[in-house]
C-alpha cells in the first residue's frame, strides 16, 4: 500500500452553511479522501481530492450484488482550538470487520486513520463549534469492478466524506417515539447485522416508512427467530434503566457493536452505576413498566449521541417513559460524553485523539 497521500486542490471553495441550520448529513465539505483497490496493487493511490460526483460503470458490481459498507465517526473543535476525534481506532477496526464479512480486502487501519486525520486537518475550518455540532466523518467502501458474475469483486473504491452536522433527530434531547417492529426483521444471526453494510439500512426502510406514517421516529427491532428479544434501533443501540440497573442487549451476532454503546457501558461502570449486557425480551421491558420499574429508555450511537426514548408502541400497547422527559442517567451520559468529546472534561479513558491545534 502506498504511504503517500496525494492532494488535488480545488479552485473555488464552497460557502459554509449557517451552523444553526446544519441538521444531519445535508452539507459536504470541499474535499474527500479516495483510495482504490485492485488485485495487482492492493489498496493504493490515496488522495485528497475536491468533493465531486464520481463516475461508475453500469456493471459495477456494487449495483448488482451490494458489496458496500460504511462507518460513522466525528471530529470536534474544543474551546481551546483543538480538533479531536472520538475513539476512531474502533471505527477502523469495525470497518475491517465489515470488509471481512463482505469479502472486501482488508485495509491498513493505521494508514487509513492517518489519511482521515489529514483530510480533517485539510478541512479544519469546517469543524463547527456550536453546542451539539461536530464534523461527521463517513468512510465507505464499495465494489467497482465491471462484471456480472456473483463472486467477490476484484476492484473497490474507498472514500471518506465529511459533513458538518447537528442533531440526528431534530432536537437532540427531546425524547423520541419508537415503534417496536413485529412484522419485519433487521438481521439474523449468521447474517450481516453485526457489521455496517449498506444493505442493513436498505432492508430497514420499509418498516421505518410504516412506523413514520404512524408518527414514530424509529423502529426498535426484535430478534428474527423468536420475535421476542430486543436487538437495536438501527441508527443506535438501546438501553433500559430498570429499577436502578441499566440493561442493554448483549451482542449476539446480529446487533451492531456500537462505539457509543461501548463507551456508555464503560462510563456507567466507572461511575458505579449497575450496568448489564443481557438478552432482554420486550415482554420484560413492558412488565418492568407495569411494575413501575422502567425508569429510563435511551439510545446511543455516533450520530444519535444519547437519545432519550419517551414512548414505546408494541403491538398497540403504548407506554410513556419517565413522563416523556429526559431521565437523569440519559442526561448525565449525554453531558459527560459530549464534555469529553469537546475537551471540557477530563478524559479518563483516553478516548479522544488530537488532530490539530487551530487559532481561536
Query: Which positions touch ligand COI (CB under 6 A)?
Result: 72, 235, 301-303
Which of 137, 340 has the CB closer to ligand COI?
137
> Nearest approach, Cβ of 7 to ligand COI (angstroms)?
27
Which of 116, 242 has the CB closer to ligand COI?
116
Residue 274 has a CB neighbour count (10 Å cut-off) of 13
> Nearest approach, Cβ of 74 to ligand COI (angstroms)?
8
Number of residues that this document lists for the chain: 360
What is the rounded distance in angstroms from the CA atom of residue 77 to the CA atom of residue 344?
A: 11
Which of 205, 278 has the CB closer to ligand COI?
205
Q: What is the per-residue DSSP string for 172-183?
A: TTSPEEEEEPSS
> Nearest approach, Cβ of 235 to ligand COI (angstroms)?
4
Which of 74, 295 has the CB closer to ligand COI?
74
Which of 191, 294 has the CB closer to ligand COI?
191
Strand-pair category, 305-314 with 317-320:
antiparallel
- CA-based radius of gyration for the chain: 21
> Nearest approach, Cβ of 116 to ligand COI (angstroms)?
14
Which of 301, 310 has the CB closer to ligand COI?
301
> Nearest approach, Cβ of 341 to ligand COI (angstroms)?
14
**Partners of 76 in the β-ladder:** 84
> Nearest approach, Cβ of 23 to ligand COI (angstroms)?
12
Chain position whose Cβ is nearest to ligand COI: 72
- Of the candidates 47, 51, 67, which has an alpha carbon nearest to the alpha carbon of residue 145? 67
User: Crossing angle, helix 88-101 and helix 109-122, to 10 degrees?
Assistant: 130
What is the rounded distance in angstroms from the CA atom of residue 197 to the CA atom of residue 132?
A: 27
First to last CA, the chain: 37
Amino acid at each position: 500500500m502506498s504511504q503517500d497521500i496525494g492532494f488535488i486542490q480545488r479552485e473555488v471553495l464552497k460557502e459554509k452553511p449557517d451552523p444553526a441550520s446544519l441538521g444531519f448529513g445535508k452539507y459536504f465539505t470541499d474535499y474527500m479522501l479516495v483510495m482504490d483497490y485492485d488485485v495487482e496493487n492492493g489498496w493504493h493511490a490515496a488522495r485528497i481530492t475536491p468533493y465531486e460526483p464520481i463516475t461508475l460503470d453500469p456493471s459495477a458490481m456494487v449495483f448488482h450484488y451490494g458489496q458496500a459498507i460504511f462507518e460513522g465517526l466525528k471530529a470536534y473543535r474544543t474551546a481551546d482550538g483543538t480538533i479531536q476525534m472520538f475513539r476512531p481506532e474502533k471505527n477502523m477496526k469495525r470497518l475491517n470487520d465489515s470488509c471481512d464479512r463482505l469479502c472486501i480486502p482488508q485495509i491498513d487501519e493505521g494508514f487509513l486513520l492517518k489519511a482521515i486525520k489529514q483530510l480533517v486537518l485539510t478541512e479544519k475550518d469546517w469543524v463547527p463549534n456550536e453546542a451539539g455540532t461536530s464534523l461527521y466523518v463517513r468512510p465507505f467502501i464499495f465494489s467497482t469492478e465491471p462484471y456480472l458474475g456473483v463472486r467477490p469483486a476484484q476492484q473497490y473504491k474507498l472514500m471518506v466524506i465529511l459533513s458538518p452536522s447537528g442533531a440526528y433527530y431534530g432536537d437532540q434531547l427531546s425524547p423520541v417515539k419508537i415503534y417496536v417492529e413485529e412484522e419485519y426483521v433487521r438481521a439474523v444471526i449468521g447474517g450481516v447485522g453485526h457489521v455496517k453494510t449498506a444493505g442493513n439500512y436498505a432492508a430497514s426502510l420499509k418498516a421505518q416508512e410504516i412506523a413514520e406514517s404512524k408518527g414514530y421516529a424509529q423502529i426498535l427491532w426484535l430478534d428474527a427467530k423468536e420475535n421476542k428479544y430486543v436487538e437495536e434501533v438501527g441508527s443506535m443501540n438501546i438501553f433500559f434503566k430498570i429499577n436502578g440497573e441499566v440493561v442493554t442487549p448483549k451482542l449476539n451476532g446480529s446487533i451492531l457493536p456500537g462505539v457509543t454503546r461501548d463507551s456508555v457501558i464503560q462510563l456507567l461502570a466507572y461511575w458505579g452505576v449497575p450496568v448489564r449486557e443481557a438478552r432482554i425480551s420486550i415482554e420484560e421491558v413492558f412488565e418492568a413498566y407495569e411494575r413501575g420499574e422502567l425508569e429510563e429508555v435511551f439510545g446511543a450511537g455516533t450520530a444519535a449521541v444519547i437519545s432519550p426514548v419517551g414512548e414505546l408502541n408494541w403491538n398497540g400497547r403504548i407506554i410513556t417513559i419517565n413522563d416523556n422527559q429526559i431521565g437523569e442517567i440519559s442526561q448525565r451520559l449525554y453531558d459527560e460524553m459530549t464534555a469529553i468529546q469537546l475537551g471540557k472534561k477530563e478524559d479518563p479513558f483516553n478516548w479522544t485523539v488530537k488532530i490539530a491545534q487551530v487559532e481561536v
